[in-house]
Structure 1
Amino acid sequence: MKSLLAKDVLYKSDKEFNLVDASVSHSELLLRSDKIGNEDGFNIDIIFSGVEYLQMPSLLNGLSIYRDSEKKFGYKKVDWMLGKKLASVFNIKSGGDDYYIVAFDFIVFQNKLAFGESSLGVIQNKGREKEIARSHKSN
């Protein structure tokens, strides 16, 4: 397997993140570092879209996200999508462990949404006003 280098990091944070919301109908997943625990007073929301596979705990103490182009899972649909480049494997390293999300992409936002208020949803852009990182470059 290819070794992951520091330059391969797509996003990194020392903050605590929780899996706080998911939209099954829109294949979205929200990981949040809540503003209550952050000295700057902002939530950090990581929204994965086109989620096909998820293997991770609900709490991460710091994280680094990498793209892994060689990982396979042995599930027909997931491996087929990876082979057709319809999704990517995002390797999340946290606390010395590796976790995986197979998705189309992710975008990181900063917001001040209230506890329990979600930034998920394809119609509204609530909580998505300030983008701070993404898994691919926009054109």
Structure 2
Amino acid sequence: MSSADTPSGSVVRIEDSDAKSFTFLPDDAWKLDQNLNVHQTFAQNASVTAVFNGTRVWFYADVSPRHGLFSAAVDAGPAAVFSSWATDWVRRQLLYTSPPLDPGQHILHLRSLTEGAPFEVDFIE
């Protein structure tokens, strides 16, 4: 990943606990893991949206051998499939970087794609 793909300059972190920015659906499919301070679901098609202002967004979460696939899209753009699987459990990994966006308000759409595998949301920048 090049340095152009990672946050720099004036970056605002928005935690998953920010109810003004994050919406988790269906609500009963998500739980807050108090130990890791992340939202987690095991339900296929559980989704989350995050409202942000800026010209790009970076999504961070944990990875592990138990994790599976998720999709990500910004605004009405096409969704792409990504993996949060890894050989070892590692906290706060960059899992998605949006393409450059016009300045202004945008919505990041995330969806869990693997039934029974944990999908976690930590924060965006």
- Give the structure-2-normalised TM-score: 0.32
Q: TM-score, normalised by structure 1?
A: 0.30
Mark the structure with the bigger radius of gyration. Answer: 1
